[in-house]
Structure formats: C-alpha cells, structure tokens
Homo-oligomer: A and B are copies of this chain.
Amino acid sequence: MTKDSLLPLLTAHVLAHGLGGASLRPLAKAAGTSDRMLIYHFGTKEALIVDLLGHIAKVYAAALDAAMGGEPAATRADVVARILAHGDAPAMQPFMRLWWEIVAGAARDLPGYQLAAQAMMRELLGWLEGQMPAGDPDPRGGARYLMTVIEGTAMLTAVGHGDTAQQGLLAGGLLPS
C-alpha cells in the first residue's frame, strides 16, 4: 500500500465529497486505511493535499488527452461548442465542482493549489491550441481568447447564470447558430 496506490482512492473521495471539508479519518476510510497511515505516508495533511492536487492535475490531463481525438474543428465556434459539451458531460461534473474549490484555494494562496490550477489551465490551453481551425488567422491568441470565454462560461454556469453566458457567446459569434 504505497502513496501511488492511495492517491486514486483519495481522489475519488474528494471528487465526491469536496476538498475543503476533507479530513483525515474519512479520507482514510475511503482509501481503506487509517489516518495514522495517511500521516505515515504523507507526513502531514498539508503534504497529502499537495500530493493529491498534483495527482488530480495529472488525472485531468489524462482525461483531456483521452478526449483529444477527432479532426480539428472547422470554426472557433465549433471549438467552443466542443469543449463546453465536454465540460457539461455528467462524468465531468464532480470534477467541475472540485475545480471551483481549487480556484478558491489558489486565490487564497493555499500551498499547492496555484500549482495544480496552473498545470490544468496549461493543459487546457495546449488542448485548445491543438483544436484551433486549420485556417485560423491567429491560433495562438485565438486559443487564449477562447479559453477566457470558456472559463467565464463555466463560472457563470456554476452559479446558475448559464443562460446569460449562452446569450453572451451568441452575441460574440462564438456559438454555432
């Protein structure tokens, strides 16, 4: 029972129950161990969280890679539609709930949170650059532009203003009509 075998189980638990309220004993039960052993392996709860965030970032990267397939999109609007569909998928929603906790932790400068969030955003940006339409005049800037729009849409959706974001995307010519 090593760290690497523990991390997926811990990940599953925080995906289900959140990261902020996670405490050692429930985490340990989810991983089939005791709090004693978690401290033994990770040294500290804080170190555990840092390791866990790193692992979650890697899981996210793998999920993006798996969704990477398909030919490049025809238009920027198609790129947006494609990734919004990916984020709206039911399988992604536990991760989306977790994501906002990671953002909140990064905003408060908790150790490990910024690093994990930046890694995931870097991954998403790379994915977007690879998805940009073939003849796009500015794939590099365009990918950054789309990422900004997409994250804004995700946030508004999280607080129940998804329709507002949809209307904004439509007005910005970023939704296929």
Which A residues form the contact surface with B (CB < 8 A)? 18, 20-21, 96-97, 99-104, 106-108, 114, 117-118, 121, 125, 138, 140-156, 158-161, 164-165, 167-172
Which of B121, B153, B154 meets A161, CB within 8 Å?
B121
Which of B114, B160, B170 meets A106, CB within 8 Å?
B160
User: Most chain-B CB neighbours within 10 Å: which of A97, A140, A145?
Assistant: A145
Given A149-B148, A153-B152, A106:B158 Cβ within 8 A: yes
Chain B residue nearest to A158 in the complex (CB):
B107
Chain B nearest Cβ from A164, distance in angstroms: 5
The answer to whether A167 touches B152 (Cβ under 8 A) is no
- Copies of this chain present in the complex amount to 2
Across-interface contacts of A165 in B (CB, < 8 A)? 144, 147-148
Across-interface contacts of A21 in B (CB, < 8 A)? 20
The answer to whether A147 touches B125 (Cβ under 8 A) is no
Chain B nearest Cβ from A83, distance in angstroms: 13
13 more CB-based (< 8 A) A-B contacts, given A107-B159, A141-B167, A144-B171: A101-B104, A103-B104, A106-B160, A121-B161, A125-B164, A141-B168, A145-B172, A147-B164, A149-B149, A149-B168, A151-B151, A151-B152, A152-B155
Which of B18, B143, B148 meets A152, CB within 8 Å?
B148
Given A18-B108, A20-B20, A104-B103, A168:B145 Cβ within 8 A: yes
Instruction: A108 to B149: give the CA distance in the assembly, Å.
Output: 22
The answer to whether B160 touches A114 (Cβ under 8 A) is yes
Chain B residue nearest to A125 in the complex (CB):
B164
